[in-house]
Amino acid sequence: MLIMIEEIKKIIIDILEIDPTELKMETDFVGELNADSLMALEILATLEKKYKIKIPEESLAKMTNLKNVIKVVEDIAGSKAS
Protein backbone atom coordinates (compact mmCIF):
# COMPACT_ATOMS: atom_id res chain seq x y z
CA MET A 1 0.00 0.00 0.00
CA LEU A 2 2.78 2.45 0.91
CA ILE A 3 4.53 1.67 -2.38
CA MET A 4 1.29 2.39 -4.28
CA ILE A 5 0.89 5.76 -2.52
CA GLU A 6 4.44 6.75 -3.43
CA GLU A 7 3.90 5.64 -7.04
CA ILE A 8 0.69 7.66 -7.31
CA LYS A 9 2.40 10.70 -5.77
CA LYS A 10 5.22 10.44 -8.33
CA ILE A 11 2.75 10.21 -11.22
CA ILE A 12 0.89 13.32 -10.04
CA ILE A 13 4.10 15.27 -9.34
CA ASP A 14 5.45 14.43 -12.80
CA ILE A 15 2.25 15.30 -14.67
CA LEU A 16 1.57 18.52 -12.75
CA GLU A 17 5.27 19.43 -12.88
CA ILE A 18 5.36 20.46 -9.24
CA ASP A 19 7.85 20.24 -6.40
CA PRO A 20 7.18 17.17 -4.23
CA THR A 21 6.79 19.41 -1.17
CA GLU A 22 3.72 21.02 -2.78
CA LEU A 23 1.72 17.78 -2.79
CA LYS A 24 -0.02 16.87 0.46
CA MET A 25 -2.91 14.44 0.92
CA GLU A 26 -5.51 17.25 0.87
CA THR A 27 -3.88 19.63 -1.64
CA ASP A 28 -6.51 20.62 -4.22
CA PHE A 29 -5.16 19.92 -7.70
CA VAL A 30 -7.12 22.67 -9.44
CA GLY A 31 -7.36 25.33 -6.75
CA GLU A 32 -3.85 25.05 -5.35
CA LEU A 33 -1.77 23.41 -8.08
CA ASN A 34 -3.45 24.90 -11.18
CA ALA A 35 -4.18 21.53 -12.78
CA ASP A 36 -6.39 21.57 -15.86
CA SER A 37 -8.69 18.99 -17.42
CA LEU A 38 -5.99 17.64 -19.75
CA MET A 39 -3.70 17.02 -16.79
CA ALA A 40 -6.55 15.26 -14.99
CA LEU A 41 -7.13 12.99 -17.98
CA GLU A 42 -3.41 12.27 -18.20
CA ILE A 43 -3.35 11.29 -14.52
CA LEU A 44 -6.37 9.03 -15.08
CA ALA A 45 -4.85 7.38 -18.15
CA THR A 46 -1.48 6.87 -16.46
CA LEU A 47 -3.09 5.27 -13.41
CA GLU A 48 -5.19 2.98 -15.61
CA LYS A 49 -2.11 1.83 -17.49
CA LYS A 50 0.08 1.46 -14.38
CA TYR A 51 -2.45 -0.54 -12.36
CA LYS A 52 -4.24 -2.24 -15.29
CA ILE A 53 -7.61 -0.90 -14.18
CA LYS A 54 -10.46 1.02 -15.80
CA ILE A 55 -11.43 4.20 -13.97
CA PRO A 56 -14.93 5.36 -14.95
CA GLU A 57 -14.97 8.95 -16.22
CA GLU A 58 -17.49 9.88 -13.51
CA SER A 59 -14.76 9.08 -10.96
CA LEU A 60 -12.63 11.85 -12.44
CA ALA A 61 -14.73 14.47 -10.62
CA LYS A 62 -13.84 12.81 -7.30
CA MET A 63 -10.11 12.85 -8.02
CA THR A 64 -9.49 16.35 -6.67
CA ASN A 65 -6.61 15.59 -4.32
CA LEU A 66 -4.11 12.84 -3.54
CA LYS A 67 -6.29 11.31 -0.82
CA ASN A 68 -9.25 10.93 -3.19
CA VAL A 69 -7.10 9.59 -6.05
CA ILE A 70 -5.70 6.89 -3.76
CA LYS A 71 -9.22 5.97 -2.62
CA VAL A 72 -10.53 5.68 -6.20
CA VAL A 73 -7.57 3.52 -7.27
CA GLU A 74 -7.82 1.31 -4.14
CA ASP A 75 -11.58 0.86 -4.59
CA ILE A 76 -11.26 -0.14 -8.25
CA ALA A 77 -8.14 -2.25 -7.82
CA GLY A 78 -9.69 -3.93 -4.76
CA SER A 79 -12.91 -4.78 -6.56
CA LYS A 80 -10.88 -6.12 -9.51
CA ALA A 81 -8.95 -8.44 -7.19
CA SER A 82 -12.15 -9.86 -5.70
Contact 65, 32 (CB under 8 A): no
Give the domains, in start order, of the chain with CATH numbers. 2-20+29-81 (1.10.1200.10)
Residue 81: pLDDT over 70 = no
At residue 82, the pLDDT reads 54
At residue 79, the pLDDT reads 75
Contact 23, 11 (CB under 8 A): no
Mean pLDDT across the stretch 65-78? 95
Q: Which residues contact 38 (CB under 8 A, 6 or more apart)?
A: none
For 5-59, what is each residue's pLDDT tens digit? 999 999 999 999 999 999 999 999 999 999 999 999 999 999 999 999 999 989 9
